[in-house]
Amino acid sequence: MQQRVLTGITTTGTPHLGNYVGAIRPAIKESRQSDNLSFYFLADFHALIKSREPQQVHQSSMEVAATWLALGLDTDNVVFYRQSDIPEIPELCWFLTCMAAKGLMNRAHAYKAAVDANEQGGEDPDFGVTMGLYSYPVLMAADILMFNATRVPVGKDQIQHVEMARDIAARFNHHYGEHFVLPEAVVDDHVAVLQGLDGRKMSKSYNNTIPLFLPEKQLKKHINKIKTNLLEPGEPKDPDSSTVFQVWQAFASPEQTDEMRQAFADGIAWGEAKKQLFELVNNEVSDARERYNELLQNPAHIEAVLKEGAEKARSYASPLLTKLRKAVGIHSFS
Ligand code: TRP
């Protein structure tokens, strides 16, 4: 059976090496397996939950779109669109909201984390919690169910949301008839979770990222900032506890990885290891960086690509929504 693969990217930041290695690179690879029908979208409605800076939301959407296009997403083969271009999604979101148990939402990790933090700080449990944050999983369920996606590639932190989408879909099906396929989360354990400058997981929230398309000089500077220890040149170094080595591994061939492992054992200087790392990473991203910068100079082109994607997406969403409206009892009188 043809799989429908779907995933969303929240547009709140500038894509970094961790996003590239953990999500973008595998997704683009997957998108080229022509037996699947893939949907990739900019989750800009979700961005509003995290960011109230219009300029940031807008800029990030454009950067994320340009990144995916620059890295060679084949938009003839996949459906690439902006969530906010699909009016069927918020409408479906409301149908699902009316089916989703509040108790289910109470258990969502992101909401619970906010409540826990408030309780620890002696605040009201719901302090600062918007309905957007609370209903986040319902909007995500609408994203997924709108296209009857079968496989949803996500990070571990999103598995619960996909399971909630299944629950909501099953409940809708039970009540209104079999309209939705139950989606499955796909977590690729082989994909590296990249460490950031300080050795923790590379993440915008830790402010320890290396943006993917930094100008060459700045990329070099960032790589030089990766935290190391005080071992001198000539002293053997442990690759497995080193962020430099970990990032190397995410970009290198198995042979190059073996060579670097040996170089660590032989006491390569940190400066030299970083220099080689810069060259390796720069080599992999430099062509795409050029295309990225060209694309950002030509927003009309990005817009046109997304509009075309939205049209394709709506050719799936709109007939399903017509059926769903009927199923819930909202349709023409005559
Ligand atoms: N919540 C996802 C994240 O933060 C982004 C997202 C929104 C998504 N809608 C989705 C992912 C639908 C998969 C399917 O990473």
pLDDT digits (tens, 9 = 90+) for 134-157: 999 999 999 999 999 999 999 888
pLDDT of residue 18: 93
Atom of ligand 1 nearest to the CA of 140: 9
Does ligand 1 have an atom closer than 6 angstroms to the CB of 7?
yes
Atom of ligand 1 nearest to the CA of 9: 5
**What is the whole-number distance in angstroms between the Cα of residue 10 and the centre of ligand 1?**
7
Does ligand 1 have an atom closer than 6 angstroms to the CB of 89?
no
Tell me the angle at which helices 54-70 and 299-328 cross, rounded to the nearest 10 degrees. 100
Q: Counting every residue, how long is the chain?
A: 334
Q: What is the mean pLDDT of residues 234-250?
A: 96
**Mean pLDDT, all residues of the chain:** 95
pLDDT of residue 1: 76
Does ligand 1 have an atom closer than 6 angstroms to the CB of 50?
no
**What is the whole-number distance in angstroms between the Cα of residue 42 and the centre of ligand 1?**
9
- pLDDT band at residue 179 under the 50/70/90 scheme: very high
Residue 303 to residue 315: CA distance in whole angstroms: 18
Q: What is the mean pLDDT of residues 296-312?
A: 98
Ligand 1: residue of 9, 86, 146, 166 to mutate (most ligand atoms within 8 A of CB) is 9
Ligand 1: residue of 40, 80, 143 to mutate (most ligand atoms within 8 A of CB) is 143
Is residue 32 pLDDT above 90, yes or no?
A: no
Amino acid at 269: A
Residue minimizing CA distance to atom 6 of ligand 1: 8
Residue minimizing CA distance to atom 4 of ligand 1: 10
Tell me the residue ranges of DSSP E strands in the chain.
4-10, 37-43, 78-82, 151-153, 184-186
- pLDDT band at residue 225 under the 50/70/90 scheme: very high
CB atoms within 10 A of CB 66: 25
**What is the whole-number distance in angstroms between the Cα of residue 227 and the centre of ligand 1?**
31
Is residue 191 pLDDT above 80, yes or no?
A: no
Closest to 147 in 3D by CA, of 307, 308, 5, 323? 5
Asked whether 24 and 80 are in contact (CB, 8 A), the reply is no
Q: What is the mean pLDDT of residues 77-97?
A: 97
Residue 313 to residue 83: CA distance in whole angstroms: 10
Q: What is the mean pLDDT of residues 187-198?
A: 87
Asked whether 179 and 326 are in contact (CB, 8 A), the reply is no
Strand 78-82, strand 151-153: pairing: unpaired
- pTM of the entire predicted model: 0.93
**What is the whole-number distance in angstroms between the Cα of residue 212 and the centre of ligand 1?**
20
Atom of ligand 1 nearest to the CA of 139: 9
**What is the whole-number distance in angstroms between the Cα of residue 22 and the centre of ligand 1?**
14
pLDDT of residue 35: 82
pLDDT digits (tens, 9 = 90+) for 102-126: 999 999 999 999 999 999 999 999 9
Does ligand 1 have an atom closer than 6 angstroms to the CB of 83?
no
Does ligand 1 have an atom closer than 6 angstroms to the CB of 158?
yes
**What is the whole-number distance in angstroms between the Cα of residue 290 and the centre of ligand 1?**
28
**What is the whole-number distance in angstroms between the Cα of residue 298 and the centre of ligand 1?**
27
CB atoms within 10 A of CB 72: 14
Does ligand 1 have an atom closer than 6 angstroms to the CB of 154?
yes
Q: What is the mean pLDDT of residues 147-172?
A: 95
**What is the whole-number distance in angstroms between the Cα of residue 6 and the centre of ligand 1?**
9
195: three-class secondary structure by DSSP:
strand
**Residue that has been written with the tokens 């009892």 in this structure:** 329
- pLDDT band at residue 34 under the 50/70/90 scheme: low
Q: What percentage of the chain reaches a pLDDT higher than 90?
A: 91
pLDDT digits (tens, 9 = 90+) for 249-300: 999 999 999 999 999 999 999 999 999 999 999 999 999 999 999 999 999 9
Residue 58 to residue 207: CA distance in whole angstroms: 20
**What is the whole-number distance in angstroms between the Cα of residue 186 and the centre of ligand 1?**
12
**What is the whole-number distance in angstroms between the Cα of residue 269 and the centre of ligand 1?**
41
Q: Is the dihedral of CA 78, 83, 84, 87 positive or negative?
A: positive
pLDDT of residue 26: 86
pLDDT of residue 155: 85
Is residue 205 pLDDT above 90, yes or no?
A: no
Is residue 232 pLDDT above 70, yes or no?
A: yes
